[in-house]
Amino acid sequence: MDDKRRKRLRFRCHHCGMHENDILFGRLADRHLAAMDDGQLTRLEALLEQNDVDLFNWITGTAPVPADFDHDVMGLLQDINKEL
């Protein structure tokens, strides 16, 4: 089941909807998905359910990250954004 979950998440990360998020989440999946624990996978799934524009603004620092989404997975996304 874990492989199915990771496979589904990899696809979702590369096909978020907004091209900019596809890049950010795609890089996250390529770099970190294999090593993520169940909690991180759950946090990633919750992020992927959010509005694309909100996600982009949170990741890029244009808007504050709500407390519920200010966690390690968001930190990884923000680090990836800083590299671009």
Q: What is the CATH number of the domain that holds 12?
A: 1.10.150.250
The pTM (predicted TM-score) of the whole model is 0.95
Whether residue 12 contacts residue 32, with contact meaning beta carbons closer than 8 Å, is answered with no
Q: So what's the pLDDT on residue 2?
A: 83
Structural domain containing residue 37: 2-83
Residues 6+ apart with CB under 8 A from 13: 22, 25, 26, 28, 29, 33, 44, 48
pLDDT tens for the chain, residues 1 to 84: 589 999 999 999 999 989 999 999 999 999 999 999 999 999 999 999 999 999 999 999 999 999 999 999 999 999 999 998
Nearest in space to 78 (alpha carbons), one of 32, 34, 42, 38: 32
What does the block give as tokens for 55? 């996600």
How many structural domains are present in the chain?
A: 1
